[in-house]
Structure 1
Amino acid sequence: MRTMYRLGIDIGGTFTDALIMDNHGRVIAALKTPSIAAAPEQAIFNALDQLKESGIDLHEIDLFVHGTTLGVNTLIERNGAVTGLLVTKGFRDILEIRRLRLEDTTNLYGDKTDALVPRHLVKEVHERALASGSILQPLDQEELLQAVDELVEEGVTALAISFLHAYVNPDHEQLAEELIRERHPHLFLCRSSAIWPQQREFERTLATAMNAYVGERMGSYFLRLQEGIGAYGLKANLLSTMSNGGIMTAARAAEEPVRTLLSGPASGVIAATHIAEQAGIHQVITFDMGGTSVDVALIDKEPAYSTENKVGDFPVIIPAVDVTAIGAGGGSIAWLDSVGVLKVGPRSAGANPGPASYHRGGEEPTTTDAYLQLGILQADRFLGGQMRLYPELAERALGNLGERLGLSPTQTAQAILDVATANMYAQFSPLMARKGVDPRDFTLLAYGGAGPMHAFLMAREVGIRRVLIPPSPGTLCAMGCTVANLRNDFVHTLHKSSQTLEPGELSNLYTRLEDQGRSWVEEEARGGVKLEHIYCLYSADIRYEGQAFDLEVALTSEEIADPEKARNNFHMYYQNVFGISQPEADVMFVSLRATIVGILPTQSTASPAELPFDESEAEERIITFDHEQRTAKVLKRGQIPLDSPILGPIIVEEYDTTIFIPPGFTVYRDGYGNVIGEVEQ
């Protein structure tokens, strides 16, 4: 059988990670190259050049999936297209009014978030559909075209259409799209009924505006990338990761980039789910520490999903893997506030200039510099020796900060790690409480370039007893690209009481949603993606009559066929969440949801390599940790004994990361190559 390769590439803020896996699940190559903010596709070309030089035959790549932070960075930095918005007459201020909630309820003087589309680029059009879907007022076509002409004259290059109740009747939006495309074919155009047809006027309008805002830039990026990879002889169709942990074609991603905004963190969670399932561990908290921040997510057999994620200042209603950013990253800068208190982050040195030890012009100390000063990082072994660090520059930066604190450079380095860990703990504990879980019952699964180095410190602070470091942890998000499946979400707003449902109504509506999903999968798979099978998941947003908040409840086919069973399911779920329910009360089916999943061929698991280990011959290094000098063993992953724990402190050096096991933990390796550390008994 011909060897099949899967290529996954994840573009982060600091590094672009690339990973190639064969059909036996073996990692053939993994590498990191600095990201290039001005031209993110160039970092991919640099990675392909390195893979080619290492002997990889790029013609043998059958699947090429990549994720990029271009869309989310465009939103956060507010440097997207000049975007216009068309709304129903009377709703011009929908993006200004938002939900009339304070962003910070403890600050009565906080600034209001600036709307993504400024008010002068929002045009009202006479038209009106009712909540029932019936047309109250026809679309004024002349007024529509005049409004678009005025927007184009003002420099608008992207346009969003969001009419009232278009989620139930999209006719006016579709007609507007046809008229505008005929008159201004150069505009990047999108409508709310195609992007996310759900009731909730502000969120639906915002999602459409976000799609238009980043779409033009994403489209040109994908075009440059597609043209560039052609020169490498890559035959695989270009795919992109999505916020929900699935993948879709790059062509579709260029049309609907709003679905990719949180794809980077989602890819890591999908890979972590794959690793945890292999290892037989069902309850996991992911700990993805990169150059800027730490992302955490809960996995209880399956990842948790949310429709209340945020990108910068904006809520995202489209379902995404539930990931929360906490604390600081490896490139986070240490500094003193106005009263002389040590802080770490949120400012990051990024890839350029990077930490002081990178010797690229950075002069402020970072957590990476702190690890180097303490001896946990080795200057000539960073990135497998491909990138040298400069300890004298780290010491100088730490010394400059330490003088103001009355500390030596080494004491300052320890203080930086302590503050970074305390920051994480301060945000981590209430987050777990809100999710109703005790983190001590979970395994901390760490990845990212800095995650394996800091995970045991975090576990020690929180009380987590087990930490798992997967193979190639520094490139795990790239691995997530190679194990993800085609996946998409579809929604239908119903807003009906269970008492007023017609016989078979739920079944018919879910059948319609599933048909949409299967058509989507078939269209995406035409690009050469092979699927083993397709399945559909069903859920509904349900509430008690008179309430304003919904619970998303998973439904089976039997519950869909019998709404009374679905109603009972909701009562039990409500009881589990709130400790109380009202079985006698009627319930409202607000929105119906269907998630279609196309499963790619599974990969067999490769046995990890094992290197001989003689504890007496292990390399040793003097480090400083917890203000004491200690002797740490320095090992390769393959030298860690299988199922035979050894005691820290231990440093495990790998190409893409360094694992630090502090005193108080033992560590062993399982049959899948995972490094597992546990609290010393």
Structure 2
Amino acid sequence: METNYRLGIDIGGTFTDAIVTDGQGQVVVTLKTPSVADAPEQAIFHTLEQLQSRGVDTRKIELFVHGTTLGVNTLIERSGAVTGLLVTKGFRDVLEIRRLRLENTTNLYGDKTQPLVPRQLVKEIDERQLADGRVLTELDPEDLVQAVDELVQEGVTALAISFLHSYANSGHEQLAEQLIRERYPQLFICRSSAIWPQQREYERTLATVMNAYVGERMGSYFNRLQAGIGQYGVAATLLSTMSNGGMMTAARAAAEPVRTLLSGPASGVIGATYIAEQAGISQVVTFDMGGTSVDVALIDKAPAYSTENQVGDFPVIIPAVDVTAIGAGGGSIAWVDSVGVLKVGPRSAGAKPGPACYNRGGEQATTTDAYLHLGILQADRFLGGQMRLFPELAEHALTRLGDQLGLNATQTAQAILDVATANMYAQFSPLMARKGVDPRDFTLLAYGGAGPMHAFLMAREVGIRRVLIPPSPGTLCAMGCTVANLRNDFVFTLHKSSRGLAAGELKTQFSALEQQGRHWIGEEARGGVKLGGTYVIYSADMRYEGQAFDLEVMLSDSEISAPEEAKDKFHRQYESVFGISQPEAEVMFVNLRTSIVGLLPSKITAALPQAEGIGKPVETRRITFDGLEYQAKVLSREHLTADEEISGPAILEEYDTTVFIPPGYTIHGDANGNIIGEADQ
């Protein structure tokens, strides 16, 4: 029988991860290769070469999904295109004024974030529409052309159009785009009514500017990638993951890159949700520790979503999986501040030069160097033995750092782990409190190259009693790419009280949004993606009249047809959140939302072998932990059998990560290939 493959690739800041599954859901190959910051597609080409050398016929790849940090890195590094912005006359300072909020309310001298578009590249256009969509002042084509001519002379190569109230009437933006494209077809142009047509002028404008800023670079990347994979016989439609945990064709992602900014972390959460569901665990805290940072998300049967995510210095209004970056990663650099206190992060050694033990020019101690020196990592078995580490370089870096602290290399290594864990705890606990959950009720699901190595330390610190390590945890974000569905979000700003709604208006507007979604998914499916079905999710941003904040309320088919039922649901949800409700008050329907989901058949099989007895340790290794020396059992995970129990201290080694089980925890496998760790009573 002919075998077809699914390929998932996640491009991280340090490593590019890949996973290949066959038609039966069996994992065929997992790979990690260093990322190439200047040309991320090169890491993918290298991956395809390795797959071919391992017997994978790349011509038989039927699904190729990948996530990249190129967009978010472009924003953070501010290395995007020279971008111009067209706004309604009188609103030139929309990016300068922002929301007039202090990001840190205890610091009255905080630095103001510099906008992506400097003020001299913002042009006012003589036009005006009202909040209900009526035209007050017609667009002046001559004024528009003159403004764009001036921007092009200034070197602008990307252009964002964001006119006042264009969410209610996109006519002026559409006309402006048409006129500009006729005159300057080489410009990368996007308009707010196409990117995210929601009320909230600053956020809508910012999303459009971000899209224009990264679009040129992302488009060039996707073009190079699409051309390059053809040389390896890959004929599958290239897909990209999105911030909302879904995916879209790469061609559309090149036009709307702002939707992919958080695609990497979102892919990991989708993969974690799949793993948790298979394991029968409904409440999970994800712990994705890579080379640079730790990403945390809550899953309570399904991932949480947010419209208030932050990318670098900027808020993003477009819905995304709710992921928060905390703490330090495996490549985070340890250093001593001006008063002699040890710090870990936020700077990372990255892939190049990398930690000192990589022998690539890095000289500063990192978390990875600490693990190697303490004996938890094995120098000649990193990445399955494909990449050798150098303990003497790690010791030298730790000794130099320790001289500033009055500690030897071993004490410094333990201090680095303690500080890294404390950093995570200091951000993790308030985060859980804001979300109203007790982490002790949840399971910590750890993945990423460094996640399984640090997960039990984090669990011990915050009081979590159970840890789950999935199969191939170092490539879980890549696996999330292969089990994601097509998904996109659509919004309409209604901003009416229930008493102002016409009969059937709510249902009519939701139907229009659904039609947009079905049109979108039809276009994506024509790109070669085979769907097993579709469904639509409805919700509304609602508030009591006079309030300035909203609650998103999920709505059923019957509730979108009956505003009174929707109001009752809002009252109940408001009371559950705030402990009080006002059933007599009028309710506003601010924004209506739909999410269209196209289902892909998803199955990953990675069960542990069923056998009797305890797997024999590969070796017994002397490690140092918490200032004490131990003889730790070292086992190969592939030889671990389901249901056998192993008590810490122990180390499980596998190709893409190392699992460290400290004293006080006992692990066992389950039928799905997961490792479950429980705190000893």
TM-score, structure 1 normalization:
0.99
What is the Cα deviation at residue 610 of structure 1?
5.1
Instruction: Measure, in 1, the Cα distance between the counterparts of 2:163 and 2:609.
Output: 59
2:615–2:640: 8 Å Cα contact kept in structure 1? no
Q: Partner of 2:231 in structure 1?
A: 231
Q: Partner of 2:54 in structure 1?
A: 54
What is the Cα deviation at residue 616 of structure 1?
6.5
1:612–1:639: 8 Å Cα contact kept in structure 2? no
What is the Cα deviation at residue 103 of structure 1?
1.3
Q: Partner of 1:316 in structure 2?
A: 316
1:167 aligns with 2:171: no
Structural mapping, 1:72-83, within 5 Å: 72-83=72-83
1:136 aligns with 2:148: no
1:613–1:639: 8 Å Cα contact kept in structure 2? no
1:613–1:640: 8 Å Cα contact kept in structure 2? no
Instruction: Measure, in 2, the Cα distance between the counterparts of 1:635 and 1:613.
Output: 14
Letter in 2 for 1:227: A
1:533 aligns with 2:560: no
What is the Cα deviation at residue 605 of structure 1?
3.7
Instruction: Measure, in 2, the Cα distance between the counterparts of 1:257 and 1:665.
Output: 43
1:82–1:158: 8 Å Cα contact kept in structure 2? yes
1:19–1:29: 8 Å Cα contact kept in structure 2? yes
The worse-fitting range, judged by mean Cα deviation, of 398-407 and 370-379 is 398-407
SS at match of 1:595: strand
Cα distance per residue 1:315-353 (max 9 Å; x no partner): 000000000000000000110000100000001000001
Instruction: Measure, in 1, the Cα distance between the counterparts of 2:55 and 2:667.
Output: 34
Aligned CA-pair RMSD: 1.0
What is the Cα deviation at residue 617 of structure 1?
5.6
SS at match of 1:231: helix
Cα distance per residue 1:343-373 (max 9 Å; x no partner): 0000100000100000011111000000000
Q: Partner of 2:373 in structure 1?
A: 373
Q: Partner of 2:451 in structure 1?
A: 451
Q: Partner of 1:486 in structure 2?
A: 486
What is the Cα deviation at residue 611 of structure 1?
7.0
Could you say if the C-alpha distance between residues 404 and 612 of structure 1 is closer, same or farther in structure 2, counting changes exceeding 3 Å? farther
Could you say if the C-alpha distance between residues 617 and 152 of structure 1 is closer, same or farther in structure 2, counting changes exceeding 3 Å? closer
Letter in 2 for 1:669: G
1:246 aligns with 2:246: yes
What is the Cα deviation at residue 641 of structure 1?
4.0
What is the Cα deviation at residue 614 of structure 1?
4.1
What is the Cα deviation at residue 26 of structure 1?
1.3
SS at match of 2:343: strand
Cα distance per residue 1:463-511 (max 9 Å; x no partner): 0000000001001100011000000000000000011111111111111
2:62–2:235: 8 Å Cα contact kept in structure 1? yes
Q: Partner of 1:498 in structure 2?
A: 498
SS at match of 2:43: helix
Unaligned runs of 5+ in 1: none
SS at match of 1:415: helix
Instruction: Measure, in 1, the Cα distance between the counterparts of 2:206 and 2:182.
Output: 25
Cα distance per residue 1:216-238 (max 9 Å; x no partner): 00000000001100101101000
2:482–2:602: 8 Å Cα contact kept in structure 1? no
Letter in 1 for 2:517: G
2:192–2:208: 8 Å Cα contact kept in structure 1? yes
Instruction: Measure, in 2, the Cα distance between the counterparts of 1:406 and 1:219.
Output: 51
Letter in 1 for 2:172: H
Q: Partner of 2:343 in structure 1?
A: 343
Instruction: Measure, in 2, the Cα distance between the counterparts of 1:427 and 1:246.
Output: 28
Instruction: Measure, in 1, the Cα distance between the counterparts of 2:409 and 2:211.
Output: 47
Q: Partner of 1:467 in structure 2?
A: 467
Q: Partner of 1:677 in structure 2?
A: 677
Instruction: Measure, in 2, the Cα distance between the counterparts of 1:614 and 1:563.
Output: 61
Structural mapping, 1:557-636, within 5 Å: 557-603=557-603, 605=605, 607-609=607-609, 614=614, 619-636=619-636
Instruction: Measure, in 2, the Cα distance between the counterparts of 1:617 and 1:379.
Output: 18
What is the Cα deviation at residue 646 of structure 1?
2.2
Could you say if the C-alpha distance between residues 615 and 28 of structure 1 is closer, same or farther in structure 2, counting changes exceeding 3 Å? closer
2:170–2:193: 8 Å Cα contact kept in structure 1? yes
Structural mapping, 1:618-657, within 5 Å: 619-657=619-657
2:614–2:644: 8 Å Cα contact kept in structure 1? no
1:610–1:638: 8 Å Cα contact kept in structure 2? no
Structural mapping, 1:328-477, within 5 Å: 328-477=328-477
Q: Partner of 1:210 in structure 2?
A: 210
Q: Partner of 1:267 in structure 2?
A: 267
Letter in 2 for 1:645: E
Cα distance per residue 1:399-425 (max 9 Å; x no partner): 011112111101110010000000000
SS at match of 1:112: coil
Q: Partner of 2:325 in structure 1?
A: 325
1:532–1:600: 8 Å Cα contact kept in structure 2? yes
Could you say if the C-alpha distance between residues 310 and 320 of structure 1 is closer, same or farther in structure 2, counting changes exceeding 3 Å? same
Cα distance per residue 1:44-68 (max 9 Å; x no partner): 1011111111111101110000111
Instruction: Measure, in 2, the Cα distance between the counterparts of 1:446 and 1:251.
Output: 33
Instruction: Measure, in 2, the Cα distance between the counterparts of 1:495 and 1:666.
Output: 54
The worse-fitting range, judged by mean Cα deviation, of 615-624 and 438-447 is 615-624
SS at match of 1:499: helix
2:295–2:326: 8 Å Cα contact kept in structure 1? yes
Instruction: Measure, in 1, the Cα distance between the counterparts of 2:324 and 2:80.
Output: 24
Instruction: Measure, in 1, the Cα distance between the counterparts of 2:526 and 2:609.
Output: 37
1:355–1:366: 8 Å Cα contact kept in structure 2? yes
SS at match of 1:179: helix
What is the Cα deviation at residue 615 of structure 1?
5.9
Instruction: Measure, in 1, the Cα distance between the counterparts of 2:548 and 2:181.
Output: 39
1:24–1:606: 8 Å Cα contact kept in structure 2? no
What is the Cα deviation at residue 451 of structure 1?
0.2
Identity within the alignment, %: 76
What is the Cα deviation at residue 455 of structure 1?
0.3
What is the Cα deviation at residue 638 of structure 1?
3.5
SS at match of 2:509: helix
What is the Cα deviation at residue 312 of structure 1?
0.4
SS at match of 2:104: coil
Could you say if the C-alpha distance between residues 262 and 322 of structure 1 is closer, same or farther in structure 2, counting changes exceeding 3 Å? same
Instruction: Measure, in 1, the Cα distance between the counterparts of 2:222 and 2:602.
Output: 28
What is the Cα deviation at residue 612 of structure 1?
7.0
Cα distance per residue 1:519-538 (max 9 Å; x no partner): 10010011110000000000
1:610–1:639: 8 Å Cα contact kept in structure 2? no
SS at match of 2:500: coil
Could you say if the C-alpha distance between residues 503 and 345 of structure 1 is closer, same or farther in structure 2, counting changes exceeding 3 Å? same
Q: Partner of 1:125 in structure 2?
A: 125
Instruction: Measure, in 1, the Cα distance between the counterparts of 2:118 and 2:611.
Output: 61
Cα distance per residue 1:115-163 (max 9 Å; x no partner): 1100000000011110011111100010001100000000000000000
What is the Cα deviation at residue 188 of structure 1?
0.2
Letter in 2 for 1:340: G
1:105 aligns with 2:105: yes
2:606–2:673: 8 Å Cα contact kept in structure 1? no
Letter in 1 for 2:622: I
1:542–1:570: 8 Å Cα contact kept in structure 2? yes
1:36 aligns with 2:36: yes
The worse-fitting range, judged by mean Cα deviation, of 277-286 and 608-617 is 608-617
What is the Cα deviation at residue 645 of structure 1?
2.4
Instruction: Measure, in 2, the Cα distance between the counterparts of 1:22 and 1:611.
Output: 25
Number of residue pairs the alignment of both structures matches: 681
What is the Cα deviation at residue 23 of structure 1?
2.1
What is the Cα deviation at residue 110 of structure 1?
0.9
Could you say if the C-alpha distance between residues 614 and 507 of structure 1 is closer, same or farther in structure 2, counting changes exceeding 3 Å? closer
Q: Partner of 1:186 in structure 2?
A: 186
Instruction: Measure, in 2, the Cα distance between the counterparts of 1:638 and 1:52.
Output: 23
2:36–2:42: 8 Å Cα contact kept in structure 1? yes
Cα distance per residue 1:11-43 (max 9 Å; x no partner): 000001111011222110011111111111011
Q: Partner of 1:278 in structure 2?
A: 278
What is the Cα deviation at residue 644 of structure 1?
3.5
Q: Partner of 2:148 in structure 1?
A: 148
